[in-house]
Structure 1
Amino acid sequence: MDDTDRRIMHATQAGLPLTPEPYQTLAEQLGLSKEEVMQRMAAMQTSGIIRRIGAVPNHYQLGYRFNGMTVWDVPDEQIDKLGQHVGQLPFVSHCYHRPRHKPDWPYNLFAMVHGKTQAEADGQIMQIAEVLGEYCRGRDVLYSTKILKKTGFRSSGA
């Protein structure tokens, strides 16, 4: 990571500019070409310096009031296959494998759902249960009670 990469990182700490062409806006702010900004950000993503570039919607402002992290107890030897199926459901915003913490926390598959009504969220959870079928040994759902501030990279300035 060189000085230009650091400048890009600092300029994007709060996210990309909310403009029709964010990479062009960023390039103009930094005195670079849009192509160089995009290439450098792609290289930082490939190397793992940047984990991902994506939009973070405010589900509440979009009308989704029932945002729940569903948690599932499935056999470890099936989790990759099952997680792929669950993650491809159109209403699942993210899905991942997490370690169990037995005996208090037996769950190893997590999937976030978003519903405008309780009935919609419940229907989504039932669809996940159908996908998991006989492999579902237990489940729960943890509903959001408030919006947490989501932020990106923060640098100490070094």
Structure 2
Amino acid sequence: MSSVPPSRRRSTSAIKESLRALSTQLSLLNHRVGAQLELKDVDFDCLDLINRHGPLSPTALARRAGLHPATMTGILDRLERGGWVARDRDPSDRRAVMVRALRERDAEISALFAGMNGRMDALCADYDEAELALLAAFLDRVTEAGRAATDELKPGES
């Protein structure tokens, strides 16, 4: 018999279900934004990783994206042709390449996310600073739990 009260189990289940619904909705939003930009979903995901964590080597990007390094070549070729990224020689190792986002197209992405960002600003306005800090910390912990769970599953495993 579980020592967790039923009300807590229900609340925890409701949070997990809400996070699944959020994940789906954000995937749909990203898919639509990517389609507007004429980017494949995987290309848009990689561009987001470069924007948030770059410049990155192709190998580091492949690792963050959970993709085989050979797959990254085609993705980077498409992003470079589209004017989204540039490949530069790593100043510390002239043989290595670093991928950086080209900021000239950031306004296109921002415009497509304006509706969501405006809604998030309005939603956050309903919370005080302490509540926002709690929510931010919770979401950071959820992100880390997701990262750990992803790392436990090797590519190709089910």
| Common fold: TM-score over 0.5 | no
Flag the structure with higher strand content.
Answer: 1
TM-score normalized by the length of structure 1: 0.31
Higher RCO structure (Cα 8 Å, ≥6 apart): 1
